[in-house]
């Protein structure tokens, strides 16, 4: 009799456990599906209201993480585990993890500040954390950059926020700076007039180029050629400006100039 009672007890307990496990799996699958739908709705709603893609991805990630934590706590509560004690355990573990992963938390905090200050957005061409390229994604802990040579680069948000940020898309156009070291004996006034006329014919010029005499050196006049263009045409105008300088010198019969890197102090 006692063996039969024990057998019934074990079978009932096992059945109840299997039912709970099956229910927990169902809750997990359905919960994950609902979380994905909610995340999609959040993204769709922000897109309809023309919210910045950077803000959309950042808030979407936060909503997804929060809902997943709520789902896990709900399943644990279904099994009878005291979630208040579990929450306290998470809080205690969070302190220890926070001390060990202070860098990651710093990246998260920096990402939140960048979200508020908005120094750049997805699609901007920037120079951040020593990396220059186009912003592909602003994540919770790092920002993804695609460099001009098509290399995917992840930069920690903390490094970005603690360093200089240059956003080349913030203003409608930028300046291309080229220096032409001409030979001695070349009339600088004549050279400036020829260069201004040649650069004016370059496609995608945003405004009249600045062509100025920077210095008179022993080698000859040093002339700065500075056209302005939108960011997406920067390298095209850069190369065309170099070509225009070489062509002007060739047509005038002057020696091929030395093209120098622009010095910021000039």
Tens of pLDDT, residue by residue over 67-94, are 887 777 777 776 666 656 555 656 655 5
- Global pTM? 0.57
Q: Summarize pLDDT for 245-256 with one digit per residue, the tens.
A: 999 999 988 887
φ and ψ at 126, to 5 degrees?
A: -135, 170
Angle at 121 (CA atoms; ends 116, 124), nearest 5 degrees: 150
> Mean pLDDT throughout 34-57?
74
Class of CATH domain 2-100: mainly alpha
Place of tokens 């919960």: 31
Cβ atoms 174, 190 nearer than 8 A: no
CA–CA separation, 162 vs 90, rounded Å? 30
Range(s) within the chain of domains with CATH label 3.30.70.100 = 174-261
Please give the average per-residue pLDDT across 12-32, as a whole number. Answer: 77
Fold of 120-167: SH3 type barrels. (2.30.30)
pLDDT score recorded for residue 255: 85
What pLDDT, on a 0 to 100 scale, did the predictor assign at position 153?
93
User: Candidates 3.30.70.100, 1.10.4160.10, 1.10.3720.10, 3.30.1360.200; correct CATH number of 174-261?
Assistant: 3.30.70.100
pLDDT at 120 over 60: yes
Give the H or E element holding residue 107: helix 102-117
Residues of the chain with CATH 2.30.30.60: 120-167
Residue labelled with tokens 């210095």 = 215
Reported as a single tens digit per residue, the pLDDT across 166-211 is 999 888 889 999 999 998 888 999 999 999 999 999 999 988 899 9
């Amino acid at each position: 009799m006692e063996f039969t009672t024990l057998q019934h007890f074990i079978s009932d307990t096992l059945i109840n456990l299997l039912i709970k496990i099956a229910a927990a799996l169902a809750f997990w699958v359905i919960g994950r599906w609902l979380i994905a739908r909610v995340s999609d709705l959040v993204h769709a709603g922000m897109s309809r209201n023309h919210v910045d893609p950077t803000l959309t991805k950042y808030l979407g990630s936060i909503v997804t993480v929060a809902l997943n934590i709520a789902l896990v706590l709900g399943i644990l509560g279904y099994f009878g585990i005291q979630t208040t004690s579990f929450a306290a355990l998470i809080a205690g573990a969070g302190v220890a993890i926070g001390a060990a992963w202070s860098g990651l938390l710093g990246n998260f905090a920096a990402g939140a500040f960048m979200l508020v200050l908005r120094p750049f957005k997805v699609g901007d061409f920037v120079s951040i954390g020593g990396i220059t390229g186009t912003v592909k994604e602003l994540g919770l802990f790092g920002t993804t950059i695609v460099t001009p040579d098509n290399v995917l680069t992840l930069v920690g948000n903390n490094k970005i926020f603690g360093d200089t940020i240059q956003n080349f898309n913030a203003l409608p156009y930028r300046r291309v700076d080229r220096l032409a070291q001409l030979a001695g004996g070349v009339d600088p006034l004549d050279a400036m007039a020829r260069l201004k006329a040649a650069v004016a014919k370059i496609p995608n010029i945003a405004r009249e180029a600045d062509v100025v005499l920077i210095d008179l050196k022993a080698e000859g006049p040093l002339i700065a050629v500075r056209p302005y263009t939108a960011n997406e045409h920067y390298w095209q105008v850069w190369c065309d400006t170099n070509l225009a300088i070489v062509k002007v010198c060739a047509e005038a019969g002057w020696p091929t100039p030395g093209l120098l890197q622009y010095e910021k102090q000039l």
